[in-house]
Structure 1
Amino acid sequence: MTTRVVLSAGSNIGDSRGHLQAVVDAVGADLIAASAVYSTPPWGGVDQDDFANITLIAEGSRTPRQWLEFCWELERVADRVRNERWGPRTLDVDVVAAETDGEPVISDDDELTLPHPRASQRAFVLVPWLEIDPDATLWTASGEQSVVELVAALDADDVAAVRRLEATP
């Protein structure tokens, strides 16, 4: 069994680029591609600093659930504290989408909802994803859609606010 995942990582507390680099390093040999670092405004209405975000594609023998647990461990190592929904954080790592043996994983599990239920609405996930996979698709309630189409459907100001900073974390 091989699982390919799209991961989104963000940080706006402490050494954000260091936290993002730690994600890339931890994925290690399973890494297929990592986007540049993007500066993005916070999402969810909480007053806070902008985020540094990356999107990664990885492939390996972990199950989707094991990828989620891997993300949680990265957050724990970065001393992530969950005080406020959509609040500031040292590190947030989400499994955006997964395919096992080439088939999309669809899950409505309380802990592992796949694809991520708000991925199609988030320019900070989709724009960096397009950088590393211009042909990317995402399963949505309307079926499979190209990420290009999803970005085009977003508010243009939200997309423009996702600013590329540098090639690597």
Structure 2
Amino acid sequence: MTIAYIGLGSNLSEPAKQVQQAVAAISNIANSQIQSVSSVYLSKPMGPQDQDDYINAVLALETKLSAIELLDTLQSIENSAGRVRKENRWGARILDLDIILYGNEVIENERLTVPHYGMKEREFVLLPLAEITEDLYLPSGESVNSLAQGIATNGMIKQGKLSY
């Protein structure tokens, strides 16, 4: 079993509901079990600011799935929620599910980069991740808690807890 950390985000079509439904769908992934879920955070969009704020969270999933099998499953959940993939990297999304970490593995291929390429610059990833982990270190040896303590919050607001 491997612990994978999944980032969840939405800013369209009742975002809090989208994230809660994604947690429910993830809880039903075969050969996997949610270990913990962070609080929900309201954050500013990374890209164009002419879109609604995001609801974000991070969860820890213990899984027997390979990283690619997990990616396929998460993309299926996104598609079921109505996600439309566009060229715009930072556009509005019904649902965005990202594998932030997959055990202590470093993965780089055409479909998946783990650790997630932007995690160290994203408060909406680091702060929820630090909330649910104790003494977690990236494959590079960097402490998630230290990275989280050093990042600007950019006005991010903790909203409450998700159920799972």
Deviation at 1:82, TM superposition (A): 2.1
Give 3-state SS (helix, strand or coil) of 1:144's partner: coil
CA separation in 1, counterparts of 2:138 and 2:155? 22
**After alignment, is 61-70 or 43-52 more displaced?**
43-52
Pairwise CA RMSD of aligned residues?
A: 1.5
Under a length normalisation based on structure 1, what TM-score does the superposition of the two structures give?
0.87
- Give the alignment partner of residue 142 of structure 2, picking from 133, 141, 145: 145
In 1: Cα distance, 2:91 partner to 2:33 partner = 30
Q: Does 1:80 align with 2:83?
A: yes
Runs of 4+ in 1 over 3 A off after TM superposition: none
Report Cα offsets for 1:28-83 as digits up to 9, x if no partner: 26100011110010012452110001100000211111111111011101111123
Q: Deviations over 1:85-110 (max 9, x none)?
A: 110010000000001xxxx1111112
Q: Secondary structure at the match of 2:120?
A: helix
Unaligned runs of 5+ in 2: none
Percent identical across equivalent pairs?
A: 31
Where do 5+ consecutive residues of structure 1 fail to align?
none
| 1:1-169 equivalent positions in 2, closer than 5 A | 2-28=1-27, 30-83=33-86, 84-99=88-103, 104-139=104-139, 143-154=140-151, 156=152, 159-168=153-162
What is the TM-score with the length of structure 2 in the denominator? Answer: 0.90
Tell which deviates more after alignment, 62-71 or 159-168.
159-168
Indicate how the Cα distance of structure 1 residues 59 and 20 shifts in structure 2: closer, same or farther if over 3 A, else same.
same
- In 2, Cα distance between equivalents of 1:35 and 1:118: 19
1:150 is paired with a residue of what secondary structure?
helix
Count residues with an aligned counterpart: 158
CA displacement at 1:16 relative to structure 2:
1.1
